[in-house]
Structure 1
């Protein structure tokens, strides 16, 4: 286990150096043998290569730390200690010690999870055949965020039971909440009873109904919803104890189906009945920058946003021809805390502790398989990328062209034709492949939480689903395009380009080729494509890791936006476009 810990720590150290340099929090200088970072009391030397967007790919195991020895001489030794580096770097940057402590705890939690993943790792040849719900438990997490498995709030036992890498199925407890604080919403075709009947078998419905009768309450006066078992024990039975004691919330018992957590931890996939909905449940756990609750405005508006997007989707012949799916957030339950909801600007995590969203599963045809986009970036312990198993014997250029056709094309279309952007990072996109492993379409999820629209009113999208307050954030074109840039181009394609068997010029040229093909086919949106250009010389930098370093761990009334910090060069700007092979 000692060797495994050092191996994983060396890999996370390399990632930490590379990503902090990419975000310009640290600035390396070149040396005869590579690069170095000079701090007040330590020097880190390492080998690295530059990647797209000004990125740094540090070679694991190449890092050496130099510092003054006790006899006044310089001591230089191999370094695999990511924790030591974090403290050295943060002292050099003058980071508040409380922030250093919080970040170090998240890094250590991430490292422990990485060791668990490595200890149970399987070759990519075996992973390629796994269903999506099982494969998620083998993936290593966000490729950009250093502390991508921080999970502040989980104990070691919690991680062993509820983290994706534990691969431990759980049954979900169900609650009945009085209709005073609870509200069900669904798309027009879904009633509350229809969702209940879809998710629970008749015997379970009868069992839960009997629990309510025995509690001496009228069953029809209550809304039913699942709850994460951790949240029930750590939050609901504590924060909501008066409502439980007074019968405004009733524990119904566990549903019969087994669920596995996705990479996001709070979303659960039904492994007994995959045709049932995926369930998104709040967790009062800090992970990848924010607490993983569900804001009430998201639960309230998820079905109406789904219905609105579906109307645009179904009416668009191009989208229909591409087969792109929306995994609709078709029903929800919102539960507002009776006291905290009127207490003013309390920290947001206290207002997002109870509720749920039901999301549609991926629909697959005969011979089709699905996996999250994050799987493209997985590399096994032997150094083989999982993406090569998916490519198989197909020409890599043909396979990548199919992926761009299925993934990038609809994203570009909805960005410029409708002024709508999704957040297509690795967890928010499902890739569907045919029997031969060739991508045929994608499915997009997290609709209400991660969909933004242009400030400019675009006639093609009709009336936005607003009531008194805007449901969807409005952004200018130059900011709107950043969701494609940061989530997909930087967050997925930047690391993918280092793994994929195409020369960088060909890889990025094919990406630009899709953009130019769309520009040629739809000249009417030229102004939008110019204002929100994907081929400009540089993009704004939104530093995901530095966000935590500068923000710290203080409580806030709302999720803060990621701050801007300079710019990054765009690899699409100077590259020769490669036209899509289908003549699009």
Structure 2
């Protein structure tokens, strides 16, 4: 199992580093390093991508007698050390990357050892299905989770599929702030999220300490964060009663692919809870910035207002899962300490998000967009099962996916000058009989951006004075759609569907052209943020870590650009949407 997983991960590492042009193969599929030469077999994909065949990698190096020794290579660590030396990566970064990637490999092995054939996955509820998925399709160290021990992975990682209970804290109102949308109050939230006996038990815990329950805000905390961060970093607040441990609530939760977002499996109609974790995973520490917890409800209320008034979004049934309540807790001293590494300022707080389950009707199923990229250990793609269940051709099924997913994203981008970050974890698809019928968009406040240019259709932003929503030019706004969806999801998806590259990207282009034809008044915006030009800016997600290293930074740094990638839609003929839209 280890060897097979190592072969797959090594193939991914080589492919993605070649795609990002951190490595440049010569003479087809040959990498020349100072002390070794690697050869491999690969298929070229859209955006100048590389898909390396697992098990095809060979390494040549000088033996002790001076002769060249060529042998199969499946050693991820050996390759990374060779490649990092070639790329000029410093030793500290190499060590960090080696650890993060090996942790990913260990998680891959654990996942593969309990894997089920894709035919058995299609009927699972979305939160259970998340525990079977293999992770970010682009980042190769996608389960690094720096800070987790192996015992933590076994208990808290999605692939462990182990429900956990959440601990709860009471935070004094001098330390914490509760915010919510206009239809939600503290009392109504906790009445919905906690049963009467638990609320009574929490209240009695404060009374027993001689504290006034009305002076406190309640919030859940991840059990790992409680043990590793709250009881140490926040020990003075616990000792003085500004923070009080209330105990566990009875409901069981499972983590989504993002690890820090928890879904209630006992009562699926209750909220999803997004909780900070001071672990480094997929590029950044997984805390929650205080400005995000504070802004989440107002951002949700604003977006839901736009959503409810838009006839097309209503017609398409596009769902927005609002982040309707939050608790913000700022550290009383570190906030005044200057350039503190950002992860230390994001250790406590929570966001409650609307659950997905109530939006799934009778006979319908839901799955995160990442599920469309899942391939079981026997080489069978899950998306093939989705297509089979639908009874449609692969082309018609993909057309349905574009209709419910790409179409509303284009509309929100060009009509309102708003973009979300529609990668596999931030989008879910609802199907009826296997046919995609609605898209669900979530994870808002961290990932919503708006155009620098004022757009009358979106009205006044909720942060017109204290800016929370990043302002971006049109060519940058469209890049979120390019990287998260086109490169991050559609690039690997095209290889899993029995469609030619021209057919696949022609259908995507057809949706873009159809939207433009129906909205000629938006032509200037669509030109400024075009999806049909010859190339897009390249943002190397893996190269970001190689460049940045593992040093502490005061801010989450932006990913630096690195050249351009060719646009597969630029030269293909558009294929009009099958519904004639």
What TM bracket, shorter-length normalisation? over 0.9
Q: How do 1:119-134 residues align onto structure 2 when only pairs under 5 Å count?
A: 119-134=113-128
Residue of structure 1 equivalent to 2:423: 425
Residue of structure 2 equivalent to 1:375: 371
Work out the CA distance in 2 between the residues paired with 1:366 and 1:132: 15
Q: How do 1:89-488 residues align onto structure 2 when only pairs under 5 Å count?
A: 89-362=83-356, 363-392=359-388, 393-434=391-432, 436-488=433-485
Work out the CA distance in 2 between the residues paired with 1:342 and 1:460: 39
Deviations 1:449-484 (Å, cap 9, x if unpaired)?
000000000000000111532110010001100000
Deviations 1:362-395 (Å, cap 9, x if unpaired)?
1111111110000000001111100011111321
> What is the SS of the residue equivalent to 1:176?
strand
> What is the SS of the residue equivalent to 1:254?
strand
Q: How far apart are 1:30 and its partner, in Å?
A: 2.1
Q: How far apart are 1:433 and its partner, in Å?
A: 0.3
Work out the CA distance in 2 between the residues paired with 1:542 and 1:580: 30
Deviations 1:290-330 (Å, cap 9, x if unpaired)?
00000000000000000000010000000000000000000
Work out the CA distance in 2 between the residues paired with 1:395 and 1:153: 45
Q: How far apart are 1:396 and its partner, in Å?
A: 1.0
Is 1:526 aligned to residue 520 of structure 2? Answer: no
Residue of structure 2 equivalent to 1:71: 65
Aligned length in residues: 577
Work out the CA distance in 1 between the residues paired with 2:232 and 2:477: 40
Work out the CA distance in 1 between the residues paired with 2:92 and 2:569: 40
Structure 1 gaps of 5+ residues are none
Determine which of 45, 49, 62 is the counterpart of 1:51.
Answer: 45
Q: How far apart are 1:566 and its partner, in Å?
A: 0.2
Q: How far apart are 1:398 and its partner, in Å?
A: 1.1
> What is the SS of the residue equivalent to 2:105?
helix
Residue of structure 1 equivalent to 2:572: 575
Deviations 1:152-194 (Å, cap 9, x if unpaired)?
0001111110001111000000000000010000000000111
Work out the CA distance in 1 between the residues paired with 2:241 and 2:317: 47
Q: How far apart are 1:503 and its partner, in Å?
A: 1.3
> What is the SS of the residue equivalent to 1:207?
helix
Residue of structure 2 equivalent to 1:15: 12
Q: Structure 1 runs of 4+ off > 4 angstroms?
A: none
Q: How far apart are 1:512 and its partner, in Å?
A: 0.4
> What is the SS of the residue equivalent to 1:29?
coil
> What is the SS of the residue equivalent to 2:27?
strand
> What is the SS of the residue equivalent to 1:384?
coil
Deviations 1:30-71 (Å, cap 9, x if unpaired)?
25xxx1100000000000011000000000000000000000
> What is the SS of the residue equivalent to 1:460?
helix
Work out the CA distance in 1 between the residues paired with 2:165 and 2:521: 52
Work out the CA distance in 2 between the residues paired with 1:199 and 1:501: 45
Q: How far apart are 1:82 and its partner, in Å?
A: 1.0
TM value normalised by structure 1:
0.98
Work out the CA distance in 1 between the residues paired with 2:27 and 2:201: 69
Work out the CA distance in 2 between the residues paired with 1:378 and 1:467: 41
Determine which of 46, 62, 75 is the counterpart of 2:56.
Answer: 62
> What is the SS of the residue equivalent to 2:453?
coil
TM value normalised by structure 2:
0.99
> What is the SS of the residue equivalent to 2:428?
strand
Q: Classify 1:358/1:151 alpha carbon distance in 2 versus 1 (closer, same or farther; 3 Å).
A: same
- After TM superposition, the structure 1 stretch with the greater mean CA deviation from structure 2, 361-370 or 413-422, is 361-370
Residue of structure 1 equivalent to 2:498: 501
Work out the CA distance in 2 between the residues paired with 1:468 and 1:334: 20
Work out the CA distance in 2 between the residues paired with 1:572 and 1:508: 6
Work out the CA distance in 1 between the residues paired with 2:449 and 2:125: 31
Work out the CA distance in 1 between the residues paired with 2:236 and 2:407: 51
Q: Classify 1:308/1:145 alpha carbon distance in 2 versus 1 (closer, same or farther; 3 Å).
A: same
Work out the CA distance in 2 between the residues paired with 1:471 and 1:558: 15
Residue of structure 2 equivalent to 1:561: 558
Structure 2 gaps of 5+ residues are none
Work out the CA distance in 2 between the residues paired with 1:30 and 1:476: 40
Work out the CA distance in 1 between the residues paired with 2:264 and 2:102: 30
Residue of structure 2 equivalent to 1:37: 31
Work out the CA distance in 1 between the residues paired with 2:64 and 2:490: 46
Work out the CA distance in 1 between the residues paired with 2:173 and 2:464: 22
> What is the SS of the residue equivalent to 1:447?
coil
